[in-house]
Amino acid sequence: MTATITGPTDAVAARRWRLPAALRHGSLVIGGTILLLIVAAALFAPLITWHDPYAQNIVARRVPPIWYGWFWDHPKATWTHPLGTDKLGRDYWTRLVYGARISLLIGTATTIMSGLIGTTLGMAAGYFGRKVDLVVSFLVTTRLAMPVVLVALAVVAKQGSSLVVVILVLGSLLWDRFAVVMRSVTQQARSRDYVTAAQALGCSTPRILIGEILPNVANPLIVIATVEMANAILFEAALSFLGLGVQPPLPSWGLMLAEAKEDIFFSPWMITIPGLGLFALILAINLVGDGLRDASVSRGRA
Amino acid sequence: MLSYALRRLIIGVLVMFVVSGITFTLTNAAIDPARAIAGEGATSDDVEAIRKSYGFDRPLAARYVAWLGQALQGDLGSSYRQRRPVVDVIMERLPVTLKLGGLALAFALVLSIPLAIAAALRPNSWIDRIALLFALFGQAMPTFWFALLGIVVFSVNLRWLPASGSGTTAHFILPAIALGYYAAPTLMRLMRAGMIDVLASDYIRTARAKGLSEARVVLKHALRNAVLPVVSVAAVQFGFMLGGSVVIETIFAMQGVGYLAWESISLSDLPVTQAIVLMISLIYIVLTLSADLLNAWLDPRIRIG
């Protein structure tokens, strides 16, 4: 077993769990392609669907997807509704595509909000240290001690649970990872020469933080943003699934899953399709995040 | 060590106070307790009368102090719906949630640790790739969707496992797997990274040079050191799982604290909601505190630095 006796430098290289060499840039490519497809579908939703996402059709309820026609000769499964219809006769493909808009909107808006809060706190803690650091650490510990799902549920329950409320609630809860990571990278950047130089030149503190440090810690910031975006999308889906997130008739994927739950026995495809949408979106975002991290790590070492 | 422990303990207590304050404010802002007690058909006069007689018209701060004073004596009030002490209501449901969390954690560890060790022994081999795929999928799989798919396959099609309830251990299998798979990727990544670090260290080289068998080197010398950070993170994950059990328990209609939380929120049962949030926070704080103290005790660098 001499092959497993590796030197410390090999250990550093092997420590990061990287995709196989051929797939390493592939992770970015695959993730990026799926993500772009979903974003494009969401943006051009009216062009690639031929129904109204809210239009109900009593005579075409619970129509199965097209492959039921291919494999089991189901007479109702036609290209009119390629992914079938839900219990109210709404076209599933159309709702799936419009649902991507909601997930992406919530993911982006929440990440921007939590990113602003977390980055501000983290950079302040990392740059000023001492008491500021203590206060921020305390805030992060407090935030981590609060169960996100429960607090979000309790707040959303009576606030009329609109899209905006869900974004505000998740945005004000999911900043902890931003703060932790930005604190540590700012601490490292603070003692670098370029910061000392800027201080010697008499630059103002905001200018040093925003003009000098922020561009140099942008890489980890973007990686965390992908993680938190995926997180926010999952939380929205979970809240909507529990009936306390985005409200009907909006086509949120979590809500579609909740509505399909009662049809689980006879129409299992109804829960499979929106779940696949969520799975593909989260996987794509994670792959992009992993790819970006690998890219920044190898560049940092070169 | 003692001063470190004391400092951490004080911070833990402070966090608990702040969390209780935030929880009290948020839930009171979100839920109107007087309206909740009065019920659906009550007139606004009734609601006002209840508001006065229960003292809900007093300022929030005064109510918080009164509530905190009682809470410190172990009295968390009475459930509006069940007309019983909150402590009784929760204690009745706690075993189900603890069993679910424990089984889920066990599943996560059983899945992640052997896979991570195998992956760490041969980085970039096929087994490493499989482990990576497992982790990628686990991270991208929404827990509740995974649970629903489990119901479709194992309850509806194969009829092996029950789809709802919490009566027997069989009822816990699907929920525990769904909840555990969500926690597994984090543990797997940590275990793999730790194991690779340890395997490259000098004392493992020494152990190998002494001619110990590979199994002994890996299982006795390396695993012991690499598993420590995993244990402390697993403790924290257990705390997160209690929060995550809200979704899972609701899907499987399990009579646990998570389902109780969802019920109490949708029925505006304020005292129960507050108590559950506080209890989960307390468990999280105690778990992280013990994990930190354990690490500090094992690694003197932490308590000095």
Mean pLDDT by groups of 10 residues along chain A of 302 residues: 43 57 70 92 85 79 78 78 81 89 94 95 90 91 87 77 87 92 89 86 86 86 91 91 84 88 82 91 91 67 36
Chain A neighbors of B200, CB-CB under 8 A: 6-8, 10-11
Predicted TM-score (pTM) of this structure: 0.86
Q: Which of A1, A20, A141 sits opposite B124 (nearest CB)?
A: A20
* Cα torsion B215, B220, B225, B229: sign: positive
Q: Is the pLDDT of residue B267 over 70?
A: yes
CA distance to partner chain B, nearest, from residue A75 (Å): 23
Question: Residues B170, B96: contact at Cβ < 8 Å?
Answer: no
pLDDT digits (tens, 9 = 90+) for B78-130: 887 778 888 888 898 999 998 998 999 999 999 998 898 888 888 878 888 88
Task: Answer whether A15 touches B (CB < 8 Å).
Answer: yes
Q: What is the DSSP string of B256-274?
A: SHHHHHHHHHHTT-HHHHH
Chain A neighbors of B151, CB-CB under 8 A: 264
Which A residues in the span 18-37 are in contact with B, Cβ-Cβ below 8 Å? 18-20
Q: Is the pLDDT of residue B215 over 50?
A: yes
Q: Which chain B residue is nearest to residue A137, measuring alpha carbons?
A: B11
Chain B neighbors of A19, CB-CB under 8 A: 132
Say yes or no for a CB contact (<8 Å) between A234 and B189. no
**What's the pLDDT at A111?**
96
User: For chain B, what are the domain ranges?
Assistant: 94-259+284-303
Which A residues in the span 267-286 are in contact with B, Cβ-Cβ below 8 Å? 268, 271-272, 275, 278-279, 282-283, 286
* Whether complex ipTM tops 0.90: no
Q: Which chain A residue is nearest to residue B208, measuring alpha carbons?
A: A5
More confident: B84 or B242: B84
CB contacts < 8 Å between A and B, how many?
159
Task: Answer whether B122 touches A (CB < 8 Å).
Answer: yes
Distance CA A127, CA A135 (A): 13
Chain B neighbors of A144, CB-CB under 8 A: 284, 288
Give the CATH number of domain B94-259+284-303.
1.10.3720.10
**What's the pLDDT at A139?**
92
Name the residue type at position B57: D
Q: Which of B29, B142, B197 sits opposite A15 (nearest CB)?
A: B197
How many residues comprise chain A?
302
**What's the pLDDT at A160?**
65
Task: Answer whether B140 touches A (CB < 8 Å).
Answer: yes
Task: Answer whether B192 touches A (CB < 8 Å).
Answer: yes
CA distance to partner chain A, nearest, from residue B169 (Å): 23
Q: Which chain A residue is nearest to residue B283, measuring alpha carbons?
A: A145
What average pLDDT does this structure show over B167-194? 87
Task: Answer whether A9 touches B (CB < 8 Å).
Answer: no
Token pair for B176: 């525990």
> Exposed, middle or buried, B255 (CB in 10 Å: 0-12/13-18/19+)?
middle
Q: Is the pLDDT of residue B198 over 70?
A: yes
Chain B neighbors of A1, CB-CB under 8 A: 208, 214
Say yes or no for a CB contact (<8 Å) between B250 and A242. yes
CA distance to partner chain B, nearest, from residue A221 (Å): 20
pLDDT digits (tens, 9 = 90+) for B6-61: 888 898 899 988 988 888 888 877 677 777 777 767 777 878 887 777 777 778 88
**What's the pLDDT at A298?**
55
Task: Answer whether A96 touches B (CB < 8 Å).
Answer: no
Q: Which of B27, B148, B250 sits opposite A264 (nearest CB)?
A: B148
What average pLDDT does this structure show over B60-71? 83
Question: Residues A258, B145: contact at Cβ < 8 Å?
Answer: no
Say yes or no for a CB contact (<8 Å) between A283 and B140. yes
Q: Which of B30, B145, B280 sits opposite A257 (nearest CB)?
A: B145
Angle, nearest 10°, between helix axes A218-241 and A269-301? 170
Q: Which chain B residue is nearest to residue A263, measuring alpha carbons?
A: B152
